[in-house]
């Protein structure tokens, strides 16, 4: 696996022109279920478009001028938190550090907000690779998810 700190990549706001590319990364029933608890594989053509809402900030990770990962920031004002959701990496780039890089950049974007004290992730499924990615990005186990079986992970915001 590559060292995520050495990966040259940056996040940009999501653009709908990439919807079909992002959808193509949902290459299996397991990926679909762990990504959004999707049940009927393959996902609908408009799945990525259906995730876009005014209160969600969606991003793409670009490396070498190509999108390699997708993720969203959801506001959780009651918890003074932001949740990272729908984290998805191009299947050909998985286990190379792009997921960790994406998580770190999304964390940094969320942590810039003064009202945020923590960033949350939910892990659905039993992927050791995904869990390892979350831990590498500095997230720690905080308990279980509320509505569906899964793990809740958190990374506290460090103020300097």
The string of pLDDT tens digits covering residues 87-126 is: 999 999 999 999 999 999 999 999 999 999 999 999 987 8
Tokens of 89: 């990496």
Total domains in the chain come to: 1
pLDDT at 126: 80
pLDDT over 70 (residue 149): yes
pLDDT at 2: 56
For residue 27, give its domain range: 4-156
Which H or E element spans position 57? strand 56-63
Q: Which residues pair with 63 in a beta bridge?
A: 66
Tokens of 54: 């005014």
pLDDT over 60 (residue 157): yes
Percent of the chain predicted with pLDDT > 90: 78
Q: pLDDT by residue (tens digit) across 9-19?
A: 899 999 999 99
CATH number of 82's domain: 3.40.630.30
pLDDT at 139: 97
Which H or E element spans position 99? helix 98-111
Residue range 55-68: mean pLDDT, rounded: 96
Contacts of 117 (CB under 8 A, 6+ apart): 80, 81, 156, 157
Q: Tell which wins on pLDDT, 121 or 8.
A: 121
The pTM of the full predicted model, rounded to 2 decimals, is 0.92
Q: Which residues pair with 59 in a beta bridge?
A: 13, 71
Q: Tell which wins on pLDDT, 6 or 112.
A: 112
Q: Under a CB-based contact definition with an 8 Å cutoff, are residues 125 and 33 in contact?
A: yes
The single-letter DSSP state of residue 41 is S
Farthest CA pair distance, the chain: 45
pLDDT over 80 (residue 6): no
**Alpha carbons 112 and 158: distance in angstroms, whole number:** 10
pLDDT at 4: 56
**Peptide bond just before 4 cis, omega within 30 deg:** no
Rg (CA), the chain: 15
């Amino acid at each position: 696996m590559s060292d995520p700190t050495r990966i040259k990549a940056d996040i940009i706001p999501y653009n709908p022109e990439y919807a079909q590319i992002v959808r193509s990364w949902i290459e299996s029933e397991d990926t679909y279920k762990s990504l959004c608890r999707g049940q009927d594989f393959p996902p609908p053509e408009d799945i990525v478009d259906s995730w876009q809402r005014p209160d969600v900030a969606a991003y793409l990770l670009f490396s070498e001028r190509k999108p390699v990962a997708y993720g969203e920031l959801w506001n959780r004002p009651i918890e003074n938190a932001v949740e990272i959701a729908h984290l998805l990496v191009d299947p050909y780039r998985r286990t190379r550090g792009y997921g960790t890089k994406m998580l770190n950049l999304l964390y940094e974007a969320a942590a810039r907000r003064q009202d945020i004290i923590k960033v949350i992730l939910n892990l659905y499924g039993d992927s050791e690779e995904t869990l390892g990615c979350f831990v590498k990005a500095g997230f720690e186990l905080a308990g279980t998810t509320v509505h569906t079986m899964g793990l809740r992970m958190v990374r506290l915001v460090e103020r300097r």
